C-alpha cells in the first residue's frame, strides 16, 4: 500500500449573479475548469469539497430587478433555481451549490465581520456619496455609471471598471449618471463602516510575493495595486437588498456584495458539513487545517477581490486567533482571460455573448465540455 500523503482541497468556482443566466465565459473561465480539477483530485484519491453558489445580493441584482420592474427577492429566487438546474444539466459535480440568502451564510458573514471589528480592523466614518434625486436613493456600485478616471472607458461602474480592472468609488467617476434613469446625481453625506486594508498592506504583499504558484498576471496586478497604496474599502452600503450590517449604529446598512460573496466560500463548506454530510467537524477539517489547499477558479476581473479583499478579511479575522481557529489562506487563484464575442468580451450585464442555456440548444453537452 502506498504511503503517499493525500492532498486536501477546497475547490471553488466564481459565484454567478442572480441577475442573469451565466454565459459561456463564466462556464469556461471558472465553472468548467473547477469541475475538471475537482474530478481530477477525486480520481487521485484526494479529499475534496467543491462549492459555489448564486450571488443573490447587492447592486447587480437590485439594478436588474428595477429595470425589469419586479421585486428583487422574486428575481433572485427565480434565477437561482434556474442557474442551479442549468449546472445540473451541465453535469457540474458540486458537493454544495448554494445561494447567499441562505441562513447559514447570513449568520456566518455577520459573525465573521464582528470578529474582524473586534480585532481592530473596522472603523466608521462619514463620507460624501452620490444620490439620485429623481429615484430618491443613494447610488452605490452598479447603480452609478460614468467615465473611468484611469482608462477613460465611458461605461465604468461605481465599484470597478471592467476595462482596466481598477477598483473605484462612485465619486471617482467622471460624468456620472444614475444607472436607472441616467440623470446626473447630487452629493449627499452618509456614514459607512470600512475595512482597514492599509493596516494589512505589508502582510498582503508578503503573501502574494511568497506564493510562487499564483499566475503571473494575477500576481503583478495585485502587487501594482499594493505599490500604489491600498485604500480602505467600505464594507457597508446604503442599499435595502443585502445582508444587514452587524455593526452597532448600522441598522439601515447592508454588507457590500463582494465582502459577503467571498466569505461564501467558507459558509458553503459549513452548510455542506452541517446539512448535507451532517458532520460539522468536516468544516473544521477543511477550513481550519493549515494543510488544506484552497483554490479559486475565476475570471481576471475578480483577481483583486480574491487576492486582496478576501485574504485581507482572513488575515484580519485570524489575528489573535488560536492556530486551530484560523482559516487557511488562499493556496492558488486560477484566473482566466476574457472570452471574446464579436470583438468584445462576454458580458451578462451588457447582453454580449452566448448563454449556457442557449449553448445546450446549439450543440450537445459533450461538445462544450470537451
Q: Please list the pLDDT of the chain residue by residue as tens digits (370 residues).
A: 345 679 999 999 999 999 989 888 888 889 999 999 999 999 999 999 999 999 999 888 999 999 999 999 999 999 999 999 999 999 999 999 999 999 999 999 999 999 999 999 999 999 999 999 999 999 999 899 999 999 999 999 998 898 888 889 999 999 999 999 999 999 999 999 999 999 999 999 999 999 888 888 899 999 999 999 999 999 999 999 999 999 999 999 999 999 999 999 999 999 999 999 999 999 999 999 999 999 999 988 889 999 999 999 999 999 989 999 999 999 999 987 666 666 566 565 556 678 899 989 999 998 888 7
User: Does residue 96 come out as left (phi exceeding 0), alpha (psi in the -120 to 50 range) or beta?
Assistant: beta
Please report the pLDDT score of residue 273 as a whole number.
99
3-state secondary structure of 159: coil
Q: Where are the alpha helices (DSSP H) in 119-174?
A: none
Q: Which of 355, 361, 266, 326 is nearest to 79 (CA)?
A: 355
3-state secondary structure of 248: coil
Residue reference for cell 447587492: 58
- CB burial of 160-197 (b: ≥16 within 10 Å; e: otherwise) equals bbbbebbbbbbbbbeebbbbbeeeebeeeebebbbbbb
Domain boundaries defined on the chain: 8-111+256-369, 140-184
3-state secondary structure of 291: coil
Rounded CA-CA distance 74/67 in Å is: 14
* 334 contacts 295 by C-beta, under 8 angstroms: yes
The 10s digit of each residue's pLDDT in 232-273 is 999 999 999 999 999 999 999 999 999 999 999 999 999 999
User: With helix as H, strand as E and coil as C, how does 89-111 read?
Assistant: HCCCCCCEEEECCCHHHHHHHHH
* 227 contacts 208 by C-beta, under 8 angstroms: no
Residue reference for cell 458580458: 347
Q: Which CATH number fits domain 8-111+256-369: 3.40.630.30, 3.40.50.620, 3.30.420.40, 3.90.226.10?
A: 3.40.50.620
Q: Which of 98, 105, 108, 109 is nearest to 54 (CA)?
A: 98
* 226 contacts 207 by C-beta, under 8 angstroms: no
Amino acid at each position: 500500500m502506498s504511503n503517499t500523503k493525500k492532498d486536501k482541497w477546497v475547490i471553488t468556482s466564481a459565484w454567478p449573479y442572480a441577475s442573469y443566466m451565466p454565459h459561456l465565459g463564466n462556464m469556461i473561465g471558472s465553472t468548467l475548469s473547477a469541475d475538471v480539477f475537482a474530478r481530477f483530485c477525486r480520481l487521485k484519491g484526494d479529499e475534496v469539497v467543491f462549492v459555489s453558489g448564486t450571488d443573490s445580493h447587492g447592486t447587480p441584482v437590485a439594478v436588474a430587478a428595477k429595470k425589469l420592474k419586479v421585486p428583487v427577492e422574486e428575481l433572485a429566487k427565480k434565477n437561482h433555481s434556474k442557474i442551479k438546474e442549468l449546472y445540473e444539466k451541465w453535469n457540474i459535480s458540486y458537493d454544495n451549490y448554494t445561494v447567499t440568502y441562505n441562513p447559514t451564510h447570513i449568520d456566518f458573514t455577520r459573525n465573521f465581520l464582528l470578529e474582524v471589528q473586534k480585532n481592530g480592523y473596522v472603523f466608521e466614518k462619514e463620507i460624501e456619496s452620490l444620490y439620485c434625486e429623481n429615484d430618491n436613493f443613494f447610488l452605490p456600485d452598479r447603480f452609478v455609471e460614468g467615465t473611468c478616471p484611469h482608462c477613460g472607458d465611458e461605461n465604468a461602474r461605481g465599484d470597478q471598471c471592467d476595462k482596466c480592472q481598477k477598483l473605484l468609488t462612485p465619486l471617482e467617476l467622471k460624468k456620472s449618471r444614475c444607472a436607472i434613469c441616467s440623470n446626473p446625481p447630487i452629493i449627499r453625506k452618509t456614514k459607512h463602516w470600512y475595512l482597514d486594508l492599509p493596516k494589512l498592506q505589508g502582510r498582503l504583499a508578503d503573501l502574494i510575493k511568497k506564493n510562487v504558484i499564483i499566475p503571473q498576471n494575477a500576481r503583478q496586478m495585485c502587487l501594482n495595486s499594493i505599490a500604489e497604496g491600498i485604500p480602505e474599502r467600505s464594507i457597508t452600503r446604503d442599499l435595502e437588498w443585502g445582508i444587514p450590517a452587524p455593526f452597532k449604529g448600522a441598522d439601515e446598512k447592508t454588507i457590500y456584495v463582494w465582502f459577503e460573496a467571498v466569505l461564501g466560500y467558507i459558509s458553503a463548506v459549513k452548510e455542506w458539513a452541517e446539512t448535507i454530510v451532517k458532520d460539522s467537524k468536516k468544516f473544521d477539517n477543511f477550513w481550519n487545517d493549515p494543510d488544506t489547499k484552497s483554490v479559486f477558479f475565476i475570471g481576471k476581473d475578480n483577481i483583486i477581490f480574491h487576492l486582496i479583499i478576501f485574504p485581507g478579511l482572513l488575515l484580519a479575522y485570524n489575528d489573535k486567533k488560536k492556530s486551530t481557529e484560523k482559516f487557511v489562506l488562499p493556496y492558488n487563484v486560477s484566473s482566466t482571460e476574457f472570452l471574446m464575442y464579436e470583438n468584445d468580451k462576454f458580458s451578462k450585464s451588457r447582453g454580449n455573448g452566448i448563454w449556457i442555456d442557449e449553448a445546450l440548444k446549439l450543440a450537445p453537452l459533450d461538445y462544450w465540455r470537451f
